């Protein structure tokens, strides 16, 4: 005897072709009507071409017929925009007024920390002219999709990722666009990508306080920001501008992260503060939010970024960042 629960359980095993997420996780299942031996399923056809739709249909028939041979199945596809389907609980921006301080690194480590806790996580790389997320995760597949929507690419551990670099013919191709075009791309990454059901979407913001980060802060329903800085005079001065920008736009600052805080030399058993004394307390006060981590300069981390294996990173620093993060991040079940 088929029940709604059994049907959903079976649909959880029907994967969207091209990515390893189910049609349930991608929120494509719109309606289930079961009456006696008749079952009508309504699915959204968003981002699915004809082959993908047929494949899904066949898989559904195969799995449900196994549960109940007598069931008569009808599958109807309806058109929906990704924006109507996406159910993203929290959108967290990672920002810094300054370039090269480690925003993309902190975005990646945050995603890894949340993913390891079992949350469904995505990364929207809003850095259109300097995207670095795909490189850190070692990705080079093009996103699939149709006129109706784009599918994110999944990392080795299932983090959904969208970045302009994934659309380019080669990763060293340049995107030479003016502000409005960049803003449009960020908006499209939010509105036209089928993110499905996500606990957290992390937004890697480009440096500065101009057009692109501004658009992202205005267009996306950001409910928390993490500020990244390094312990240099010039950096803290500029990063304080990003803090002001977030505050002026009523974005809650969840915490601050000091990157390249020190270098640990095991032979000397000594921490060397290459860029000067920690500015953690100063930035924490300026942002009115806790210092979540002091990330050292770690050659192992740099190597994993370059090799595209950031998901293999593990360290005491990541563990303590993770627990500090869980004290402030919205929407956790703890
Ligand atoms: N703590 C660290 N230890 C070792 N390498 C690091 C560390 N932080 C950053 N890096 C390296 O420095 C480079 C710059 O970091 P990242 O790309 O995260 O900076 P960003 O702020 O996002 O830069 P941009 O402003 O260009 O977007 C990366 O290649 C990364 O591998
Ligand atoms: Mg970056």
Give me the chain's average pLDDT, please.
Answer: 93
> What is the Å distance from ligand 2's center to 103 Cα?
5
Q: For residue 299, count other CB atoms closer than 10 A to its CB.
A: 9
Q: Is the pLDDT of residue 45 over 90?
A: yes
Whether 278 maps to a domain, the answer reads yes
CATH label of the domain that carries residue 57: 3.30.300.130
114 and 19 in a single domain? The answer is no
DSSP state letter for 101: S
pTM of the model: 0.95
Q: How far apart are CA 295 and CA 106, in angstroms?
A: 9
Residues 165-192 have a mean pLDDT of 82
> Does any ligand 1 atom lie closer than 6 A to the CB of residue 259?
yes
Q: How many domains does the chain have?
A: 2
User: Which segments of the chain does DSSP mark as H helices, in order?
Assistant: 4-11, 50-67, 82-85, 103-116, 133-136, 179-191, 211-219, 233-248, 280-287, 299-307, 316-328
| Ligand 1 proximity of 295 Cβ (cutoff 6 Å) | yes
- How far apart CA 107 and CA 105 sit, in angstroms, is 5
- What's the CA gap between 135 and 305, in Å, rounded? 7
Nearest CA to ligand 1 atom 18: 102
* Residues 64 and 139 occupy one common structural domain: no
Residue 102 has pLDDT above 60, yes or no: yes
- Domain assignment present for residue 241? The answer is yes
pLDDT, position 238: 84
- pLDDT higher than threshold 60 for residue 48: yes
Ligand 2 center to residue 118 CA distance, Å? 25
DSSP state of 52: H
Q: What is the mean pLDDT of residues 18-40?
A: 94
Q: How many CB atoms sit inside 10 A of residue 216's CB?
A: 26
Q: Are residues 101 and 132 in the same domain?
A: yes
Residue 293 within a domain: yes
Are residues 88 and 44 part of one domain? no
102 CA distance to ligand 2 middle (Å)? 7
Say if 128 falls within a structural domain: yes
- Residue pair 95/213 in contact (Cβ under 8 Å)? The answer is yes
* 294 in contact with ligand 1, CB cutoff 6 A: no
Structure tokens given for 281? 């307390």
Write down which residue in 23, 50, 80 finishes a domain: 80
Q: Which of 80, 98, 126 marks a domain boundary?
A: 80
Same domain membership, residue 100 and residue 73:
no
156 in the same domain as 192: yes
Q: Distance between CA 206 and CA 264 in Å, rounded?
A: 29
Query: What is the rounded (10 degree) CA torsion for 209, 210, 211, 212?
Result: -40
In a domain, 248, yes or no: yes
Considering the domain boundaries, does residue 333 fall inside one?
Answer: no
Report the alpha-carbon distance of residue 85 to residue 271 in Å, rounded.
Answer: 49
Give the pLDDT confidence score for residue 302 in this predicted structure. Answer: 96
Per-residue confidence (pLDDT) for residue 21, from 0 to 100: 95
**pLDDT, average across residues 221-245:** 90
Question: What is the model's pLDDT at position 334?
Answer: 47
285 and 192 within one domain:
yes
* Token pair listed for 325: 């993060």
Give the residue from 190, 196, 202 showing the smallest Cα distance to 115.
Answer: 202
Nearest atom in ligand 1 to the alpha carbon of residue 106 is 18
Which atom belonging to ligand 1 lies closest to the Cα atom of 101?
Answer: 21
pLDDT for 260 equals 97
The mean pLDDT value for 100-129 works out to 95
Check residue 212 and give its pLDDT: 80
Residue 253 Cα distances to 15, 121, 212, angstroms: 37, 20, 19
User: What pLDDT, on the 0 to 100 scale, is given for residue 80?
Assistant: 96
Indicate the top mutation candidate among 305, 310, 313, 317 to test ligand 1's pocket, ranked by most ligand atoms within 8 A of CB. Answer: 305
Going from the Cα of 25 to the center of ligand 2, the distance in angstroms, rounded, reads: 28
In a domain? residue 166: yes
Shared domain check, 257 and 148: yes
Same domain, 174 and 153: yes
Check if 21 has its Cβ closer than 6 Å to any atom of ligand 1. no
Q: Looking at the structure, do residues 38 and 151 belong to the same domain, yes or no?
A: no
pLDDT over 90 at 333, yes or no: no
- Owning domain of residue 39: 4-80
CATH number at residue 233: 3.40.50.300
Q: Are 102 and 228 in contact (CB under 8 A)?
A: yes
31 and 155 in a single domain? The answer is no
**Is there a domain that residue 204 lies in?**
yes
Pocket flag, ligand 1, residue 125 (CB < 6 Å): no
Q: State which of 80, 99, 116 marks the end of a domain.
A: 80
Q: Which of 100, 205, 207, 298 to mutate to test the pocket of ligand 1 (most atoms within 8 A of CB)?
A: 100
CA of 110, nearest ligand number: 1
Please tell me whether residues 55 and 89 are part of one structural domain. no
């Amino acid at each position: 005897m088929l029940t709604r629960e059994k049907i959903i359980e079976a649909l959880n095993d029907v994967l969207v072709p091209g990515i390893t997420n189910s049609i349930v996780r991608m929120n494509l299942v719109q309606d289930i009507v079961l009456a006696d031996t008749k079952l009508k399923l309504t699915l959204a056809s968003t981002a699915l071409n004809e082959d993908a739709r047929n494949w899904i249909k066949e898989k559904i028939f195969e799995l449900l017929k196994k549960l109940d041979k007598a069931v008569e199945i009808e599958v109807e596809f309806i058109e929906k925009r990704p924006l109507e389907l996406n159910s993203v609980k929290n959108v967290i921006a990672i920002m810094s007024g300054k370039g090269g301080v480690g925003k993309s690194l902190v975005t990646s480590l945050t995603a890894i920390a949340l993913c390891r806790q079992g949350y469904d996580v995505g990364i929207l790389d809003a850095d259109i002219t300097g995207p670095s997320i795909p490189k850190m995760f070692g990705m080079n597949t093009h996103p699939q999709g149709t006129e109706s929507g784009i599918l994110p690419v999944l990392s080795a551990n299932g983090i959904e990722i969208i970045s302009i670099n994934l659309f380019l013919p080669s990763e060293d191709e340049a995107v030479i666009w003016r502000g409005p075009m960049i803003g449009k791309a960020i908006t499209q990454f939010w509105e036209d990508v089928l993110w499905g059901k996500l606990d957290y979407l992390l937004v890697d913001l480009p440096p500065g306080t101009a057009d692109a980060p501004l658009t992202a802060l205005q267009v996306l329903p950001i409910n928390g920001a993490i500020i990244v800085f390094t312990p240099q005079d010039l950096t803290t001065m500029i990063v304080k501008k990003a803090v002001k920008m977030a505050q002026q736009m009523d974005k809650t600052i969840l915490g601050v992260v000091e990157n390249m805080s020190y270098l640990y030399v095991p032979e000397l058993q000594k921490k060397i503060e290459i860029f000067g004394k920690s500015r953690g307390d100063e930035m924490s006060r300026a942002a009115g939010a806790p210092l979540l981590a002091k990330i050292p300069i770690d050659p192992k981390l740099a190597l994993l970024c370059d090799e595209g294996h950031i998901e293999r990173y593990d360290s005491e620093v990541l563990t303590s960042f993770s627990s500090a993060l869980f004290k402030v991040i919205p929407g956790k079940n703890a």
